[in-house]
């Protein structure tokens, strides 16, 4: 009921809040005898962590992962793995204003309506801080997928209306927007600077690609691979749309244009995005997520207080100008977690 767990065999439960002691995840169902050390998390956590980029939140966190259980002598034991990421740079005073006022576009209003009491500091559980735990779980998922040779990679396809025109995966790690087109990356940065200067924020589109996924992953009918991927991606804050393959574009095509021809050498096109009938077909899996502009902006906004009286909100606090760049490793992790879960499920069926 509580909705903090995800996955069937490879199952994770995240916990913690933005301004509490820390955030973490319990990963259950990871096979035994997989090498897992605290250093394994460093690279992925660094890609998501705050404070590394001048247009992101200046909150400084080292995002070091502590392994509290499930690993003995550097190997997974097959028992629940608990990973903990301590909050170190917590500054709650700027959020005092949110004790009484709701941020338009954020989760404050709905958390208040649902629980009548919530940790408003830094967004509490609705904060992107929770996604650090997902990235940590994604590192474990990557290890599970090593024997299957599955590779998951994500990048920024669009930010603030600027779209990547080419996909050079080498370029992704070389710019702070994680954009595969260096020219577009510069334009994205300029758009971010302009938005920040105007006290505003930007949205965009992230594309995730899964290479080497074997055919046969996905369970009819409610646990279709595309259904689980959409759920995983949509569960990340600020994601407002998910497409698989041709996605919404397929709605404008004829069957003769949209069907991927079958040939003895494989599929002649990939508008299905690598999934048919909810089961992977062996082709590349392609997922896109539409990300809204982050709600916390410095511009003055109309809102109400807890008594329903009209109010003006002028926000302080440390926020990203866009969630898009920091979300790239998060979506990569979520997709990896889904593929790892379905890989283990396919193995269980035999
Ligand atoms: C990586 C990441 C970073 C984010 N950074 C911020 C931020 O700095 N400020 C903010 O208001 N929202 C930020 N968000 C978005 C909020 O978490 C999200 O909008 C909020 O939880 C409401 O959920 P919804 O947009 O899905 O309705 C971020 C989200 C992610 C995934």
Residue 76: in which H helix or E strand, if any?
Answer: strand 75-76
- Say if CB 77 and CB 32 are below 8 A apart: yes
pLDDT > 70 in the chain, percent: 100
Q: pLDDT category, 50, cuts 50, 70, 90? A: confident
Asked, as a colleague might, if the bond just before 130 is cis with ω within 30 of 0, I would say no
Ligand 1: lining residues by beta carbon, under 6 Å: 57, 106-107, 126-128, 131, 236-238, 292, 294-296, 319-320, 323, 326-327, 330
Q: Which residues of 98-129 are buried (b: 16+ CB within 10 A; e: fewer)?
A: beebbbebbbbbebeeeeeebbbbbbbbbbbb
Residue 125: strand, helix, or coil? helix
Ligand 1: distance of its center to the CA of 291 in Å? 9
- Say if CB 175 and CB 165 are below 8 A apart: no
Interval 177-200 mean pLDDT: 97
For 141-238, strand residue ranges (E) read 151-159, 162-163, 204-211
**Mean pLDDT in the chain?**
95
Other C-beta atoms lying within 10 Å of the C-beta of residue 350 = 4
103 CA: nearest ligand 1 atom: 11
- Say if CB 10 and CB 141 are below 8 A apart: yes
Query: What does the pLDDT look like over 97-128, one tens digit per residue?
Result: 889 999 999 999 999 999 998 888 888 899 99
pLDDT for 59: 79
- Say if CB 159 and CB 324 are below 8 A apart: yes
> Which residues are registered as beta bridge partners of 286?
209
| Nearest residue (CA) to ligand 1, atom 3 | 323
Ligand 1: distance of its center to the CA of 237 in Å? 5
Integer Cα distance of 218 and 223 in angstroms: 6
> Which residues are registered as beta bridge partners of 143?
none
DSSP strand pairing (275-276 vs 5-6): unpaired
pLDDT for 1: 61
Two structure tokens written together for 251: 């709605």
The set of residues, in sequence order, having a beta carbon less than 8 Å from that of 69 and lying 6+ positions away, is: 79, 80, 81, 82
Query: What does the pLDDT look like over 75-89, one tens digit per residue?
Result: 999 999 999 999 998
- Say if CB 278 and CB 224 are below 8 A apart: yes
pLDDT for 58: 82
Query: Helix 225-234 vs helix 324-349: angle between axes, to the nearest 10 degrees?
Result: 150
For 226-331, strand residue ranges (E) read 239-244, 262-263, 266-267, 275-276, 279-280, 285-291, 301-304, 310-313
pLDDT for 37: 98
More confident residue, 88 or 163: 163
pLDDT over threshold 80, residue 27: yes
Ligand 1: distance of its center to the CA of 283 in Å? 32
Query: What does the pLDDT look like over 61-80, one tens digit per residue?
Result: 889 999 999 999 999 999 99
Other C-beta atoms lying within 10 Å of the C-beta of residue 12 = 28
């Amino acid at each position: 009921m509580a909705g903090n767990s995800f996955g069937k065999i490879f199952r994770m439960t995240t916990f913690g809040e933005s301004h509490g002691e820390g955030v973490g995840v319990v990963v259950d169902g990871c096979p035994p005898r997989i090498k897992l050390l605290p250093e394994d998390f460093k690279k992925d956590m660094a890609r998501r962590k705050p404070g590394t980029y001048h247009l992101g939140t200046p909150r400084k966190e080292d995002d070091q992962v502590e392994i509290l259980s499930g690993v003995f002598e550097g190997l997974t034991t097959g028992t629940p793995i608990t990973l903990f990421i301590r909050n170190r740079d917590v500054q709650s005073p700027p959020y005092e204003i949110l004790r009484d006022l709701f941020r338009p576009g954020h989760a404050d209003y709905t958390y208040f309506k649902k629980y009548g009491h919530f940790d408003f500091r830094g967004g509490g559980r609705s904060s992107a801080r929770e996604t650090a735990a997902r990235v940590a779980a994604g590192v474990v998922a990557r290890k599970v997928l090593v024997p299957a040779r599955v590779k998951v990679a994500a990048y920024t396809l669009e930010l603030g209306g600027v779209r990547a025109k080419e996909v050079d995966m080498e370029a992704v790690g070389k710019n702070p927007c994680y954009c595969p087109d260096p020219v577009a990356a510069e334009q994205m940065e300029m758009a971010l600077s302009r938005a920040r200067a105007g006290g505003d924020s930007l949205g965009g589109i992230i594309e995730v690609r899964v290479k080497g996924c074997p055919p046969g992953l996905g369970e009819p009918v409610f646990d279709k691979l595309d259904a689980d991927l959409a759920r995983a991606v949509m569960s990340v804050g600020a994601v407002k749309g998910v497409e698989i393959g041709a996605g919404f574009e397929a709605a404008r095509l004829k069957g003769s244009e949209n069907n991927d021809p079958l040939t003895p050498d494989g599929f002649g096109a990939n508008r299905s995005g690598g999934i048919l009938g909810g089961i992977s077909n062996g082709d590349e899996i392609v997922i896109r997520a539409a990300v809204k502009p982050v709600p916390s902006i410095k511009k003055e906004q109309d809102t109400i207080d807890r008594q329903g009286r009209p109010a003006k909100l002028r926000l302080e606090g440390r926020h990203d100008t866009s969630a898009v760049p920091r979300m790239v490793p998060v979506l990569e992790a979520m997709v990896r977690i889904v593929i790892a879960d379905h890989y283990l499920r396919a193995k269980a069926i035999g």
